[in-house]
Amino acid sequence: MKDSLEMEQPILTDQPLSWWKKSLNIRTACLYLLPSFFLFAVFLFYPMAKTVYLSFFLTDQQGIANVFVGLENYQYLLQSESFRKSIKATILFVLYTVPTGVMIALALALLTNEKVKGIGIFRTMYASTMGVSVAASSVVWLFLFHPSIGFFNKIITAIGGESVSWLLDPSWALVSISVTTIWMNIGFSFLILLGGLQNIDEQLYESAKIDGASYLYKLRRITIPMLSPTLFFVLTVSLINAFQTFGQVDILTQGGPSESTNVIVYSIYREAFVNYQFGTASAQSVFLFLCILIVTIMQFKFGEKKVHYQ
Amino acid sequence: MKDVELTHLSKSYDMQTEVLSDISVSIHAGEFFVLVGPSGCGKSTMLRMIAGLEDITEGTLTIGQKKVNDLHPSKRDISMVFQNYALYPHLSVEENIVFGLSVKKVPKTQRKKRCHRVAKMLGLTDYLNRKPRQLSGGQRQRVALARAIVNESPICLMDEPLSNLDAKLRAQMRSEIKQIQRQLNITMIYVTHDQVEAMTMGDRIMILNEGKIQQVGPPIDVYNAPANEFVAKFIGSPPMNLAKATIYPDNQTLSVVGRIHLQLPPEDIQRMGTKEVTIGIRPEHLQLATSESQQPGSSKFEVKVSHVEVLGNETLLNFEFAEGNWQAKWNGQWRVNVGDIVPLSLHYSAICLFDTTTGNMIKQPTQNEQHLIQGVSI
Ligand SMILES: Nc1ncnc2c1ncn2[C@@H]1O[C@H](COP(=O)(O)OP(=O)(O)O)[C@@H](O)[C@H]1O
Ligand SMILES: [Mg+2]
């Protein structure tokens, strides 16, 4: 050990550091970044650039850019009745799913954060929707919503109500999809929120207990503020998820009836792969990207003030 | 003012092993009562039972003659300081301090007044608008303290409040907490694993080991007359030296591994009634043997020094004795080298004797250095 130190020292001090040696840190860093940069480039940066590029063109059926049309694709979108409907459906869908989903997940997390025997069973149960694929759960809900043999209508008719065409009635279809989505997303939100709750020091509650604080008082003045970073994260992720919903729409309603569930990602899919209008589909994608970007930025700007980070 | 009384209190978390067993003690109103013991002995559990944060498995707890076993913590007239302070990180210092008052719906102006009074007392006035994370460890400790005393509860519970502070700050906070307790005349129940804190702060201390009371009493009494070997080793720094010894009633001597021979008074031999004992001697009672220290009842023996620590005005000598490491503490600075042979003497009046089988004390030392200042006039 001692010998090797004595051997190396003269080399280090006598010769000036070469460029090759000085840049060692940078080169190491680049080496670490390379794999993820490569993946990002192939699966994110390139498609994004290509999408923006395509949105200025008319394309043929293979999606090859043919004629440069400038902003015409965007103009067309803004005048399109169908696109306006799609935006309305998306906004409604976000409003239906995000607040309700996060609230339910929070309520479940609060419930299961209590120290009760066998609470682990409930925690596993509530988190389990995370493990079910969109396709599988959509199929299950398809059966639940079935007009004649579906579980919901069976119950409604059993108690003397009139059966509802869940997925076929334009005024119900979006609600039905929202319910499905809330159910599917609860697992994730629940798990993250429960983790956040368990991170709060138990002694804070004990101290409040000695002061005589009620459950609601503790919830308002300790739990919610302490949980705010987690809540904020869950809210952001849920929002982005809601904007990008596709699978359940495709399986349950295919955007119908009368475009009432034609949320924007589904509309993009239809435009591109059913109507072969890659140009307008790309324009819609860019539009969606900008929407999510703006909403997320706004959320960070306004939300961050109310969030308490440790 | 209310006494806190524990009667045959027991606690078991799993209904099989007892974490605390048969604790009976009465804590007087206005007293500084320290609960001390090694970590894991059940101190926090006992404190939390008094606070009402932990169920009482068996026995009764009364506060001011009233049985409070099932009373909600907020109705017990207590305040509590937690080991890691339990400050609300998202609230300012002021909001932290008045949290309890807000819960109790104390009017805002009064809240502010009381907060400022307490903040002044603890030197926190300049920090009221800061968040806990912007404070140093010592300041956080003060906020926790302020939060406890602003409620003006007659009983204050503290669970190792100083264990996160550095030594210097700890010494300062010790005296500060003690002063506040005296000034406000609150009953303090203070948990610590540090015997120095126990010795310096407590009016009375209770030594706990493995869930059982070892001894209760004023610190000096505990130091002078430890009830058993555990207390003898636990209280005092450096700890008391212990070794196995045998009594020979025939020639009335006590012998420690054939190296120390002490003459015993006959009445002591009769009273103790056992031959296998453990001898205990405080390091300060092992002094250098001189010609005048050779008096009846004392014994001289030589040891080989294995380690020396000079602490400014006192010197600690370490040496191997009877399969253990013993220490002697001498006043002043002594030039002793490792490996030196040093003659030591000890007197029968200075030693403790414990029954080896039970560990209980059977003879307490009678020679204690007690000094009184009497009739001082200026
Ligand atoms: N919530 C609990 N559940 C089960 N055992 C516990 C719990 N809290 C403490 N104990 C056990 O009780 C014993 C005493 O713990 P504690 O009172 O915290 O000790 P101390 O404060 O003296 O270090 C320890 O052996 C510990 O493992
Ligand atoms: Mg403890």
Sign of the Cα torsion B137, B138, B140, B144 reads: positive
| Whether A201 contacts chain B with CB within 8 A | yes
B376 pLDDT exceeds 80? no
Of B14, B15, B47, B53, which to mutate for an interface test with A (greatest number of A Cβ within 10 Å)?
B53
CA distance B19 to B45: 8
Nearest to A210 among B51, B89, B90 (CB): B51
**Residue B122 belongs to some domain of the structure:** yes
Give the CATH number for residue B183: 3.40.50.300
Structure confidence at residue A131 (pLDDT)? 85
Which chain B residues have a beta carbon less than 8 Å from that of A211? 74, 99-100, 103-104, 151
CA of B240 to the centre of ligand 2 (A): 25
Of B279, B338, B263, nearest to B303 by C-alpha is B338
Structure confidence at residue A6 (pLDDT)? 46
Q: What does the buried/exposed string (b/e) look like for A231-267 if buried means 16 or more CB atoms within 10 Å of the residue's CB?
A: bbebbbbbbebbbebebbbbbbbebebebbbbbbbbb
Strands B32-36 and B204-209: parallel
Count of structural domains within chain B? 2
Q: Which of B198, B229, B260 is at the close of a domain? A: B229
Map chain B to HEC letters: CCCEEEEEEEECCCCCCCCEEEEEEEECCCCEEEEECCCCCCHHHHHHHHHCCCCCCEEEEEECCEECCCCCHHHCCEEEECCCCCCCCCCCHHHHHHHHHHHCCCCHHHHHHHHHHHHHHCCCHHHCCCCHHHCCHHHHHHHHHHHHHHCCCCEEEEECCCCCCCHHHHHHHHHHHHHHHHHHCCEEEEEECCHHHHHHHCCEEEEEECCEEEEEECHHHHHHCCCEHHHHHHCCCCCCEEEEEEEECCCCEEEECCCEEEECCHHHHHHHCCCEEEEEECHHHCEECCCCCCCCCEEEEEEEEEEEEECCCEEEEEEEECCEEEEEEEECCCCCCCCCEEEEEEEHHHCEEEECCCCEEEECCCCCCCCCCCCCCC
- For residues B227 and B363, the answer to whether their CB atoms sit within 8 Å is no
Nearest to B89 among A207, A209, A310 (CB): A310
Question: Quick one: B80 and B168 in the same domain?
Answer: yes
Residue bearing the CA closest to ligand 1, atom 2: B13
Structure confidence at residue B287 (pLDDT)? 87
Which chain B residues have a beta carbon less than 8 Å from that of A216? none
Q: Mean pLDDT, to the nearest integer, of B332-350?
A: 90
Structure confidence at residue B30 (pLDDT)? 92
Structure confidence at residue A8 (pLDDT)? 47
Domain residue spans in chain A? 80-306
Question: Quick one: B166 and B277 in the same domain?
Answer: no
Question: Quick one: B243 and B222 in the same domain?
Answer: no
Q: Mean pLDDT, to the nearest integer, of A64-73?
A: 83
Structure confidence at residue B281 (pLDDT)? 93
Structure confidence at residue A16 (pLDDT)? 66
Q: Which atom of ligand 1 is nearest to the CA of B159?
A: 21
Question: Quick one: B35 and B144 in the same domain?
Answer: yes
**Residue B258 belongs to some domain of the structure:** yes
- For residues B191 and B162, the answer to whether their CB atoms sit within 8 Å is no
Question: Quick one: B303 and B322 in the same domain?
Answer: yes
CA of B46 to the centre of ligand 1 (A): 10
Confidence class for position A10, pLDDT limits 50, 70, 90: very low
**Residue B92 belongs to some domain of the structure:** yes
CA of B151 to the centre of ligand 1 (A): 28
Residue in chain A nearest B133 by alpha carbon: A310
Of A205, A211, A220, which to mutate for an interface test with B (greatest number of B Cβ within 10 Å)?
A211
CA of B186 to the centre of ligand 2 (A): 22
Residues in the ligand 1 pocket, defined by CB under 6 Å: B 13, 19, 37, 39-45
Give the CATH number for residue B338: 2.40.50.140
Structure confidence at residue A127 (pLDDT)? 87
- What's the whole-number average pLDDT of chain A? 86
Structure confidence at residue A300 (pLDDT)? 83
Q: How many CB atoms lie within 10 A of CB B259?
A: 14
Which residues are CB-neighbours of B68 under 8 A, at least 6 positions away? B52, B61, B62, B75, B76
Structure confidence at residue A4 (pLDDT)? 46
Share of residues in chain A with pLDDT > 90 (%): 39
Q: Which atom of ligand 1 is nearest to the CA of B43?
A: 22
CA of B40 to the centre of ligand 1 (A): 6
**Residue B375 belongs to some domain of the structure:** no
A47 pLDDT exceeds 60? yes
Question: Quick one: B204 and B347 in the same domain?
Answer: no
Please give the C-alpha separations between residue A77 and each of A278, A279, A289, in angstroms, as whole numbers.
13, 11, 15
CATH code, A80-306: 1.10.3720.10
Nearest to B82 among A207, A217, A226 (CB): A207
Which chain A residues have a beta carbon less than 8 Å from that of B74? 209-212
Q: Which atom of ligand 1 is nearest to the CA of B191?
A: 21
Q: Which of B229, B258, B280 is at the close of a domain? A: B229
Nearest to A209 among B73, B89, B104 (CB): B73
| Whole-structure pTM value | 0.82
Q: What angle do CA A218, A302, A241 make, to 5 degrees?
A: 90
Tens digit of each residue's pLDDT (9 = 90 or more) over B176-220: 999 999 999 999 999 999 999 999 999 999 999 999 999 999 999
Q: Mean pLDDT, to the nearest integer, of B116-123?
A: 91
Structure confidence at residue A301 (pLDDT)? 84
Tens digit of each residue's pLDDT (9 = 90 or more) over A160-194: 878 788 888 888 889 999 999 999 999 999 999 99
Q: Which of B211, B229, B247 is at the close of a domain? A: B229
Question: Quick one: B191 and B295 in the same domain?
Answer: no
| Whether B105 contacts chain A with CB within 8 A | no
Structure confidence at residue B294 (pLDDT)? 74
Question: Quick one: B63 and B209 in the same domain?
Answer: yes
Question: Quick one: B120 and B260 in the same domain?
Answer: no
Q: Mean pLDDT, to the nearest integer, of B8-18?
A: 92
Confidence class for position A295, pLDDT limits 50, 70, 90: confident
- Return the higher-pLDDT residue of B67 and A71: B67
Residue with structure tokens 């992720």? A237
Using DSSP, state whether A244 is helix, strand or coil: coil
The residue whose CB lies within 8 Å of the most ligand 1 atoms, and thus the one to mutate among B14, B44, B210, is B44
| Whether A215 contacts chain B with CB within 8 A | no
Question: Quick one: B189 and B77 in the same domain?
Answer: yes
Question: Quick one: B83 and B141 in the same domain?
Answer: yes
Structure confidence at residue A14 (pLDDT)? 53
**Residue B162 belongs to some domain of the structure:** yes
Q: How many CB atoms lie within 10 A of CB A127?
A: 21
Question: Quick one: B264 and B208 in the same domain?
Answer: no
CA of B42 to the centre of ligand 1 (A): 6
| Whether B74 contacts chain A with CB within 8 A | yes
Q: Which residues form the domain of B124?
A: 4-229
